[in-house]
A and B are shown apart, each in its own frame.
Chain A
């Protein structure tokens, strides 16, 4: 039943899901790690990116331009949001962060519904990538290779940014001791705003990349945000490298769990029992994984100060 090519296809699916999660988790983990800010509205930025990408693609006819528009739009929204609302909340406790950003989630979801209606927005796959690629007799959608490619490129890019640039140095310093960085004369307010904007931009990129495969609609950011939160907890809060590895682990575990857990259960239990329990258990898998990590290494698998 479990052939090599099926396993390969599922690993690719897991990798693709993982890099998409990474794009979301990278911004989330930086904001959480450096500013100690819980941002539930990150999913709303992902949604805005998806809409901006969809509209950009419709208007320009170029997918590359659409991605650029989505990134620029979410970067700007991120900056404005940070200046107007988020920066006023840093000194408050986490419960206030959750309350305020949850309000923002509702605001953005309703805004999307008012602007673009309750119906999912139409996005097409770029023509050149609408086909499939054959791998050992298995057809895999070309567009998903683009997602994997872009995700890996962003991972490399963020590694270079964090380890080879002055901004990266400040980010690394900020994630370990933000008060000291401020005391050394760095404009921490500006750093925070830029960082928040960059995180928003990556979320927007993730949304724009997901647009052609998912339905672009109000509220699309929330389910994926929850998984992204799992990723940053598993990876270690504040660590971009941790977010990358954890995103891949969660992506592959979720995909393989969804496929093979029900199959496995059918070997062990009655078919009707397995059919009911399989999907339920598979959907719990990533949370069980997170619980395990929290019990074993509460600081996460790849905590910030080591990498």
Chain B
């Protein structure tokens, strides 16, 4: 049982005389009807993609606030660690959460590379882990774990949705672009899995390349029917601005994933008009749960929530339901993991239908969102559900049922 402690950092720094330890032990025993839950939150909180990590934390903390600082009816401590998007730093922090802080659950887990580095220790410990930003194919397939969940997506899902959308629109010739690293290749592979037309060009650019003028000139020379890209963060801001300035955005359908979203829209504004994005969430989604969430998020943080904020928010909701199920007792880790899995189909997600598949990845809708300029204002609206209640293509390789 964890002692009740509102601020673990300050209490850790101070020397702890024997009588205080005794007092803390007595307090913990006395408070055993309402013990505190400890959550370790791992996210990239510095560097160029810090906004992605911050949104996950903010979404999670908003839900905790709304639940009165409690999860499953018990007070909650949230410990935050910055993985700096480095697998070794992330794996180290996960080790600390498990061994030193003895957390009840780990949330966040950053990008796929960090999650993969932390996976062996997570699997060994049995500690419940909810990824709010990643769903790499190995975790969806052969290396799935009973205690590792993704609240976010299988990485290919949004790209598959855009491939299906382009296919449904009758597009025949498409131009593909992504940064030259694993996620870039996965996204284009996901698009091609659903798109049956011709890929006239498939370009991979250097990671963090700032200027795309050479590639845009090629695009203009090839003159495709439509374009599909994956450029997360600052790369997306660069790419979309430059495509707009080259007069190509608006000339042909422009599809993307993780490029135009809540994290980049404030820097793009009008440049993002006439684009279509594939995602499992956008602030524009028209559900009762989402309207409440968006209003509360905007009131607290003065900006619109992104898909990352939504996954963070949902993770707290799932933990709330699951902790209630086990009566706050997480000592039996396998039982707690079972409760989390069941909670997945019980809580009300801001993104619409949600449940965990056999591999602990989401079965959820992938939507198409269009950004348009209407009456001098920029509006995002949902224009379709290319993949309703989609299951990823790797779950058959997972031994869990």
Contact = CB atoms under 8 A, between A and B. Distances in A.
B245 A119 contact: no
Interface in B234-258: 234-235, 237-238, 241-242, 245-247
B89 interface: no
B92 interface: no
A219 B47 contact: yes
A275 interface: yes
B48 A6 contact: no
A267 to B, nearest CB: 15
Contact of A120 (B54, B180, B267): B267
A14 to B, nearest CB: 8
Contacts of A83: none
A282 B206 CA distance: 9
Interface residues of A, number: 49
B241 A213 contact: yes
A131 B249 CA distance: 12
A60 interface: no
A280 B266 CA distance: 32
Question: How many B residues are at the interface, by size bracket?
Answer: 35 or more
Nearest to B213: A13
A6 B237 contact: no
Contact of A217 (B180, B203, B234): B234
Nearest to A130: B245
A96 to B, nearest CB: 26
A113 to B, nearest CB: 7
Contact of A215 (B47, B203, B221, B238): B238
Interface stretch (A32-40, A135-143, A235-243): A135-143
Interface in A236-272: 255-256, 258-259, 262
A280 to B, nearest CB: 7
B208 interface: yes
Interface stretch (A23-31, A67-75, A121-129): A121-129
Chain B contact residues, majority secondary structure? helix
A113 B50 contact: yes
B215 A258 contact: yes
Nearest to A262: B203
A160 to B, nearest CB: 29
Contact of A275 (B202, B211, B245): B202
A219 B267 CA distance: 16
A177 interface: no
Nearest to A255: B214
Contacts of B241: 125, 212-215
B32 interface: no
A185 interface: no
B205 A279 contact: yes
A219 B47 CA distance: 8
A283 B234 CA distance: 19
A5 interface: yes
A117 B266 CA distance: 12
B217 interface: yes
Given A17-B213, A139-B220, A223 B246 contact: no
A215 B50 contact: no
A13 B214 CA distance: 6
A212 B241 CA distance: 8
B382 to A, nearest CB: 24
Given A122-B266, A255-B214, A258-B214, A139 B237 contact: no
Given A118-B54, A120-B237, A219 B220 contact: no
Contact of B217 (A13, A212, A216, A217): A13
The 6 closest A-B pairs by CB, nearest first: A215-B237, A118-B50, A120-B267, A13-B213, A215-B234, A9-B217
15 contacts: A3-B221, A9-B220, A10-B217, A16-B213, A120-B234, A120-B237, A122-B268, A124-B269, A141-B213, A213-B242, A214-B238, A214-B241, A215-B234, A215-B238, A258-B205
Given A10-B217, A223-B210, A255-B213, 20 more contacts: A5-B221, A6-B221, A13-B217, A16-B213, A118-B48, A118-B50, A119-B267, A130-B245, A132-B247, A140-B246, A141-B242, A214-B211, A215-B237, A217-B234, A219-B47, A255-B214, A258-B205, A276-B204, A280-B180, A282-B206
